[in-house]
Amino acid sequence: MPTYDVELIDIVKDFESGGSRVRAVDKVSVKIADGEFFALLGPSGCGKTTTLRLIAGFEQPTAGQVLIRGIAMEGIPAYHRPVNTVFQDYALFPHMTVEQNIMFGLQMEGVGKKEARKRAQEALDMVRLPDIGARKPQQLSGGQQQRVALARALVKRPAVLLLDEPLGALDLKLRVNMQYELKALQRDVGITFIYVTHDQEEAITMADRIAVMKDGEMLQVGAPREIYEHPGTRFVADFIGETNFIPADLIERAPDGSGAVRLSDETVIKAQLSKTLESSSGPVTMAIRPERVGIAKVGDSIDSADSDQTVLDARLVDSQYIGTDTRYTARIADDINLIVRVQNTSEREFSHFTIGQPVKVYWRQSSTTVLDR
């Protein structure tokens, strides 16, 4: 049987605000496996930090259960739960050395100084900072402070490490580097990480699974590839990466998940239907990632005979060179703009296409997802 470090069962959390009740978490249920890197992703106010605080014990649920390693946490205070938390501001004691910061929690639990020092050094080795124990926090870079905060949390050997946007205070380049550091560290130590972020790139880069949250609900839970390639709702498709949304009418729905939609100019397009699509006909939204769309000059060879290929006439209205790729905007039926991203794999001129020229845009059926409007 699979083992779960954390189980949330129909968790509800209400807060009093101005004489009324505000629901921050709404019937959330999820199982997080031993050793998993699990991300709670969503915009501000979606309930992700409140969910983390319910696991940590800083908040108590209005209804439902929190289980850690199969044990119900009702009535168990935060300091007795087998978890530890890393916050965005790191909360390092400025008057203590790095070693003293890491040892503090152990000494509060009665661990002897010799053993605490040994474990502190092991924790520093773990985060690849073996020689900074004598420094003060203000003598460290932002990335070093972040790793010291991790060492302080890991030294107590928690079953679960909770991370509340720990990279938010770092500059962009360091934040990107730390994403890979964190994932490698989690893989090395084998501890379950539950990571709160509003940054979809962080979640996709690090997490084994992602829960996308909105208005207190978990809209979709899955592996990064599943969430990105097969979003279940328009919100998920829009929040994770860039997406083209094309209004259409569903005219065919097959048992195998394929179907067909009709655009406003009567063009019929074969498409893949979302597993969560409720509509059997009528208005829907077709979602296509920009990097799944190709663009060609009129007259260029396109395999339009491929029954799985959609080819449409369009007109180029914008072109932006952004280094790794070029972002084109092509206008199709009824003034619908379609974003196309083409990787710059050669030294092709930026003026490969001219604004205003007619072009062809094309994609495969498997590159689309039809969602409820």
d(CA 200, CA 69): 28
Q: Mean of the per-residue pLDDT values for the chain?
A: 90
Whether residue 85 is predicted with pLDDT greater than 70 in this model: the reply is yes
Q: What is the mean pLDDT of residues 96-110?
A: 91
Edge to edge, what strands does the sheet with 20-33 contain? 20-33, 4-17, 63-68, 71-72
Whether residue 238 is predicted with pLDDT greater than 80 in this model: the reply is yes
Bridge partner residues of 16 (DSSP): 21
Band (pLDDT 50/70/90 cuts) for residue 304 is low
The lowest-confidence range among 74-88, 158-172, 228-242 is 158-172
CB atoms near residue 309 (< 10 Å): 16
User: At CB < 8 A and 24+ separation, what contacts does 66-70 make?
Assistant: 66/6, 66/7, 66/8, 66/9, 66/11, 67/4, 67/6, 67/7, 67/8, 67/9, 68/5, 68/6, 68/159, 68/160, 69/3, 69/4, 69/5, 69/159, 70/4, 70/7
pLDDT tens string 287-299? 999 999 999 998 8
pLDDT higher for 7 or 276?
A: 7
pLDDT at position 223: 97
pLDDT at position 214: 97
CB 48 within 8 Å of CB 42: yes
Whether residue 160 is predicted with pLDDT greater than 90 in this model: the reply is yes
Whether residue 156 is predicted with pLDDT greater than 90 in this model: the reply is no
CB atoms near residue 116 (< 10 Å): 22
pLDDT at position 348: 56
pLDDT higher for 332 or 301?
A: 332
Band (pLDDT 50/70/90 cuts) for residue 305 is low
Band (pLDDT 50/70/90 cuts) for residue 373 is confident
- What pTM value is reported for the model? 0.89
Band (pLDDT 50/70/90 cuts) for residue 251 is very high
Give me the residue label for tokens 């328009």.
234
Bridge partner residues of 31 (DSSP): 7
pLDDT tens string 191-221? 999 999 999 999 999 999 999 999 999 999 9
pLDDT higher for 224 or 127?
A: 224
Whether residue 79 is predicted with pLDDT greater than 70 in this model: the reply is yes
Give me the residue label for tokens 């990279």.
167
pLDDT at position 303: 65
pLDDT at position 318: 94
Write the CA distances from 94 to 98, 118, 139, 145, 168, integer angstroms: 9, 22, 10, 11, 20
pLDDT at position 104: 92
Phi/psi region, residue 57 (left: phi>0; alpha: psi -120 to 50; beta: rest), is left
d(CA 298, CA 313): 9
For the ranges 277-281, 307-311, 342-346, 362-366, the maximum mean pLDDT occurs at 362-366
Element (DSSP H or E) covering residue 118:
helix 113-126
Domains, in order of start, for the chain: 4-234 (3.40.50.300), 242-372 (2.40.50.100)
pLDDT at position 185: 87
